[in-house]
Structure 1
Amino acid sequence: MLKIAYHPIYKHPLPEGHRFPMIKYELLPEQLLYEGTCNPSNFFKPDRPDETHILRAHKKHYFESLKGLSLDARAIRKIGFPLSKALVEREVIIADGTLKACDYALKFGIAMNIAGGTHHAYSDRAEAFCLLNDQAIGARYLINEKGLKNVLIVDLDVHQGNGTAEIFKNDSTVFTFSMHGRSNYPFKKEESDLDIALEPKTDDKTYLTTLKHILPKLIEEQKPDFIFYLSGVDVVASDKLGTLGLTIQGCKERDRFVLQTCIDYGLPVMCSMGGGYSPDIKVIIEAHANTFRLAQDLFF
């Protein structure tokens, strides 16, 4: 059964001017239920995780500052959202959604988190809407608690996974692969184990050809036990914060290829949704919903 992490706190209201990115967290599960892709039994409600898991990916002084709301003004500005207790609680629960989804992925082959993909969170600081790095927390959980030897993070958000790269820069058990827009934030990029920077307006054919050339070879070289897939839909041409030129269909074919490749190699995969900022909310919901539709069609 496809299991999907969702909690009402995912749609936590923010001050005027910050709400648009949050709307999808309310509409996406409603759409999946309405169209019959999912039923209520597919969803599970995450809670607060054991903080030990968080502290394997984040510095204790940073996490304590988050919980105490004691970050300095400059650090808060880098978040992009006003810092609040509810916002920190939201990120902690998102991390638990990814941790529990890891267990479900080991059991069923795939599991998903409606939120997550907070790949700009560093070990010791927040950045660009990301306070805690959910997939980094999940990767360390799998290594330390489940005995996995090698994990591959496939980050196909339009923005480079700079925080993820920093967290694992000296960790040979986790291989970080980011394929992103060359001209996109972050403008000073970190060094992932493998970075592919795409030119502005990269189209479906170029994008998919590049991905299909790289991913199978990477899996054969690295021999991972588990894959994290960050399936951001900010790669579509209409995205306000993206520079690439994919269609919704191209984005769907990207997801199909990644998920089918996981099946072909017998690898469990945990998906976090990542970014999506097209002006038309229908585009965002359709692009994200495709990932869930494919998960149901391919795995179940």
Structure 2
Amino acid sequence: MLFYHPCYSDLSLPPRHRFPINKYRLLYQQLTHSSCAQWLTQSQRIATPEQLTVCHDAHYVAQFLDGTLSAGAIKRMGFPWSPQLVERTLRSIGSTLEATELALNNGFAANLSGGYHHAFSDRAAGFCIFNDLAIAARTLIKNGQADTVLLLDCDVHQGDGSAEILKSDTQIITCSLHCEQNFPKLKQTSDYDFALPTGCSDDTYLATLDDALNLCTRLHQPDIILYNAGADIYHRDELGHLDISLEGVLARDIQVLHHAKQHQIPLMAALGGGYQRNISRLVEVHQQLFVALQHVWPERFNTPRPQ
């Protein structure tokens, strides 16, 4: 299933705000005209404060929910606080939790939001409020649904919040492929960090990804992969600094999905980052994940859904 909710894009932001909030709605609309349309569904799950506190400080959670964050905390968050933002945040995390459970049972699922990897245990940063993939990973371990979880972060920015939250979790493996000379300036230490140079091309990126996947699978034998499929590795991304073509983005997603299928590892994908003023072009980059699904699982995503 591919989880979506209209509130992903129903957020009022100041004029020329840097976050491309409309990309979720436009991607959903594009997918309704594709062979993936039959798998689109609207998640009804809303994350609870108890679910958030498996990774986040209870005082921080309460301040966000009741709108009492300091001005400095709101500035670091990157969004003006509003009840809309609270609903969007809780529904997005709820969708990641639901998609993760479904992937564990059915092999694959995705959230058309998520990948909020800059959220730390006690604060928001870089448009990330609560760290949905870290929450999903800890929830699986807590509930005894998995022994080992691989958090594979292929957003162009390092998953610093994930690294900070999960630094002591021996059953959750954090692996980040990111541009070295990019946000965040102060990097955290993941279990595996693959720092790529500015201007890195397709061949180097894909070879590094192959090394990362094989290393993590061989050493840790994960029960599930939580995949942050950031679109900001694309060479036209305004906050990216890598030189990855659209074909390279597709090859990355095929490589990750094929690896999971080949090794029979369930995979849940989240949308991750992407920053282009040209929203149509940005949506095309995000669409590569769903094109990859049709390549890797044609029997599922190119055929009618079972009734």
Answer yes or no: same fold by TM over 0.5: yes
Contact preservation (8 Å) 1:110, 1:295: no
Partner of 1:292: 290
Q: Which moves more between the two structures, 77-86 or 15-24?
A: 15-24
Deviation at 1:68, TM superposition (A): 1.4
Mapped partners of 2:62, 2:277: distance in 1: 36
Q: d(CA) in 2 for partners of 1:146 and 1:43?
A: 27
Q: In 2, distance between residues paired with 1:206 and 1:279?
A: 27
1:65 aligned residue (63, 66, 70): 63
Q: Distance in 1 between matches of 2:156 and 2:181?
A: 10
Change (3 A) 1:223 1:111: same
The runs of 4+ residues in structure 1 deviating greater than 3 Å are none
Amino acid at match of 2:53: L
**Cα distance between partner residues in 2 of 1:7 and 1:198:** 34
8 Å contact 2:49–2:61 — kept in the other structure? no
Q: What are the within-5 Å matches in structure 2 for residues 37-76 of structure 1?
A: 37-39=36-38, 41-76=39-74
Pair 1:33 & 2:39 matched: no
Count of equivalent residues: 297
Specify the alignment match of 2:139 in structure 1: 141
C-alpha displacement at 1:278, in angstroms?
A: 2.3
Deviations 1:54-100 (A, max 9, x none): 11011111100101111111111101111122112211110000000
Note the residue ranges of structure 1 that are not aligned, 5 or more in a row: none
Match of 2:83 among 67, 82, 85: 85
Q: In structure 2, what is the equivalent of residue 124 of structure 1?
A: 122
Report the residue type matching 2:67 in the other structure: L
CA distance in 2, matches of 1:164, 1:198: 19
- Whole-angstrom CA distance in 2 between matches of 1:52 and 1:140: 12
Quote the sequence identity (%). 39
C-alpha separation in 2, matches of 1:42 and 1:96: 16
Distance 1:187 1:203 in 2: 22
Offset at 1:20?
5.2
User: Does structure 2 retain, via aligned residues, the 8 Å contact 1:231–1:273?
Assistant: yes
Contact 2:55-2:135 within 8 A present in 1 as well: yes
Query: Aligned-pair distance for 1:15?
Result: 2.2
What's 1:107 paired with?
Answer: 105
Following superposition, the deviation at residue 246 of structure 1 comes to 0.1
Cα shift readout 1:19-50 (whole Å, capped 9, x = no counterpart): 751111110010011233323x5323233133
Can you give the 5+ residue segments of structure 2 that lack an aligned partner in the other structure?
301-307
- Give 3-state SS (helix, strand or coil) of 1:21's partner: coil
The CA deviation at 1:222 is 1.0
More displaced 10-residue stretch of structure 1: 73-82 or 149-158: 73-82
